[in-house]
Amino acid sequence: MKNMTATQTKQSKTSKAMELLEEGISNLLQSGDWRQYLQVQSQFHNYSFNNIVLIVLQYPKASRVAGYRKWQELGRQVKKGSKAIKILAPLTKKIEKENDNGEKQKINALVGFRTVNVFDVSQTEGEELPAISSSVLNGDDQGLLERLKAFSLDNKVPVKFEGILGGANGCCRYDTTTGNPIEITVDPLLPPLHQAKTLAHEIAHSLLHSRKQYDSHIPRSMAELEAESTAFLILKHFGLDSGDYSFPYVACWQEGEDAIANLRQAGTRLQKAANQVIDWVESHSNSD
């Protein structure tokens, strides 16, 4: 039997990584820990952009934010002397309005805003919140970060390293007119391995998703599944494991529903994107 070609070897490695990805997500979804995690996560609000700005300005290291009573419901108590983070909550009022058929109906109308107090988890004490993974990938990137940065620049999407409003690890910025990716940002305070994983994730967005696709053509949950799965495949090929972070990330965006079916549906698409990056990195590494 002839030896496998380099292309066949690469495809075999990618296929095995896909199997590991599916197995990891499947095992996580079947665990009681995951169900408990989802239950608790559902108690936290998704704050508006304006409130995120207010939170970051008042408490830059905020990670999980909730009101005083909500923390009590979760078995935690705000520490004495903690300074509240003030955000805005909408004020609504029921009014009568005619619908398209001329019928009158009561609706909730926004009439203003009021200030409410919230606290970060670091300002509380009590029962531990369930955790299913490390929030940070510690370790060395083995030089992959610089290779990925070079790939993205060659792909005409330059990379910069700076903090991101709202605490995101990275983002892919798009041209507002063309919808094409124009810049990637990665948080420089992350460990090297996590920076490499984040950059691989954002590169996947730049390859797979236009701004129009991201906004409307595909659900964001699917876009995040594709980007994170592609990042996992890229790192796995180069001997780096992001499973502790990637498995929960994908499952969380899918909310535990149809994650495996969606992963299989996207399989060919994300393997193609991963191999595009892998081929470029390997060819340019060999030419050094």
Q: Are residues 199 and 261 in the same domain?
A: yes
What is the tally of structural domains in the chain?
2
Q: Are residues 179 and 255 in the same domain?
A: yes
Angle between the N-to-C axes of helices 192-208 and 144-154, in degrees from 0 to 180, rounded to the nearest 10: 20
- Structural domain including 94 reads 48-126
Q: Are residues 13 and 64 in the same domain?
A: no
For the segment 65-119, what is each residue's pLDDT rounded down to a tens digit? Answer: 889 998 998 899 999 999 999 988 888 788 877 766 777 777 777 777 889 999 9
Last residue of a domain, one of 72, 98, 126: 126
DSSP per position, 194-214: HHHHHHHHHHHHHHH--HHII
User: For the whole model, what pTM was predicted?
Assistant: 0.65
C-alpha dihedral sign at 233, 236, 241, 243: positive
Give a yes or no: residue 1 inside a domain: no
> For the chain, what is the radius of gyration of the CA atoms?
22
Res. 148 pLDDT band, cuts 50 70 90: very high
Q: Are residues 92 and 178 in the same domain?
A: no
Percent of the chain surpassing pLDDT 90: 36
Last residue of a domain, one of 126, 158, 180: 126
Q: Are residues 193 and 254 in the same domain?
A: yes
Last residue of a domain, one of 76, 95, 126: 126
